[in-house]
Amino acid sequence: MTTRREFLQQMALAGGALALPGIASATSKQPVIAAANGARVVSTWDFGVPANQAAWNVLRAGGTALDAVEQGARWAETGLCNSTVGHCGYPDRDGVLTLDASIMDGDGRCGAVAALEDIDHPVSVARRVMEQTPHVLLVGQGAQQFAVEQGFEKQSLLTPEAVQAWEEWKKTSRYQPQINAERRLIPGNSQNHDTLGMLAIDQRGNLAGACTTSGMAWKLRGRVGDSPIVGAGLYVDNEVGAATASGVGEEMIRNAASFLVVELMRQGRSPMDACREAIDRVVRKRPEASKSLQVCFLAINRHGEVGAFALHPGFVYAVCDAQRQDALLDSGAVYPGEGA
């Protein structure tokens, strides 16, 4: 597989595009991804590349976007061990690992779980909520009870590394989310990435999305971020497109951000312009706070065009389609550096 550095170098040589013209964003060249002739899947952060592969296997075989994003998210939940998704996630400040996930189909059906404990594959539990209940969101003990009733195994997901990191954190007990923490190496955790937000369009032109995370490490017990909140961390509408988010979820909830991105696309904005406007809203609402936290949006429209934008540089997103399976691109950003 092409490394990220190699890919970005190839991009530079190719004029900054996947064989397409590039356009300037605020702080970096960001390629325009052309309309897909067929299926395409995109997702957040470096580990989106292998997660996309899991989704692509479904799309390539003619499967639905919904099945594809579930498989992609499942891969992230167990296929890799990192500190922010699934079974290797870092716990809250009380040492309890809680998982949040959502899934949404282009026809508006959706399901989610929040503060789910001791159950692997929250995205699949979210899908069961969508398909097997009249509800959209189950939380905490009720979500766990439902998962067990659906045949999911109850098991401890907290790894010794996560416990060790928590013990270390307790020495200062400071809650200070770091910008792009997901891309920095943490001792004992060589693959420290972040929430997986994944969006797909299938061969029939249907869209779907999924978002899965263990949330912000060291959060207050009971804290729920944007990822399981439909409209905040994820929104999909076959008429327009889909959007997902990563970063400090409180900002996405305040701005109903993924819904906002989709509605901006409905008004005619490109995916990147829509993401950028949503980022601008975050800044306008909390100008000081936005200097020291990260928020990232990723969007795809119904034609398969893709765009992304972030508060601070460093957000990367993975794109996979019939032409290229391992593309990893830098988003533009409002601020020039990694923040205050």
Q: Measured from the CB atom, is 6 or 94 closer to ligand SD4?
A: 94
Distance of closest approach, residue 197 Cβ to ligand SD4, in angstroms: 8
Please answer whether residues 90 and 218 qualify as being in contact, where contact means their C-beta atoms are separated by less than 8 angstroms: yes
Q: Are strands 327-330 and 316-321 parallel, antiparallel or unpaired?
A: antiparallel
Q: Measured from the CB atom, is 84 or 206 closer to ligand SD4?
A: 84
**The pair of three-digit structure tokens given for residue 193, joined into one six-digit string:** 């990435």
Binding site for ligand SD4 (CB under 6 A): 194-195, 213, 215-216, 225-227, 246-249
Q: Measured from the CB atom, is 194 or 263 closer to ligand SD4?
A: 194
Report how far residue 44's alpha carbon sits from residue 56's, in angstroms, rounded to the nearest whole number. 15
Q: Measured from the CB atom, is 86 or 247 closer to ligand SD4?
A: 247
Please answer whether residues 25 and 309 qualify as being in contact, where contact means their C-beta atoms are separated by less than 8 angstroms: yes
**The pair of three-digit structure tokens given for residue 249, joined into one six-digit string:** 């979820």
Distance of closest approach, residue 78 Cβ to ligand SD4, in angstroms: 18
Distance of closest approach, residue 318 Cβ to ligand SD4, in angstroms: 15
> Where in the chain does DSSP place strands (E)?
22-24, 29-31, 40-44, 99-105, 110-116, 137-139, 196-201, 207-213, 234-237, 241-247, 295-301, 306-310, 316-321, 327-330, 332-333
244 flagged as catalytic: no
> How far is CA 11 from each of CA 218, 270, 273, 306, 315, rounded to the nearest angstrom?
37, 21, 21, 16, 16
Distance of closest approach, residue 84 Cβ to ligand SD4, in angstroms: 6
Distance of closest approach, residue 114 Cβ to ligand SD4, in angstroms: 10
Residue 116's Cβ-side half-sphere holds a number of Cα atoms within 13 Å equal to: 37
Q: Measured from the CB atom, is 106 or 225 closer to ligand SD4?
A: 225
Among 64, 84, 159, 195, the active-site one is: 195
Which residues are known catalytic residues?
195
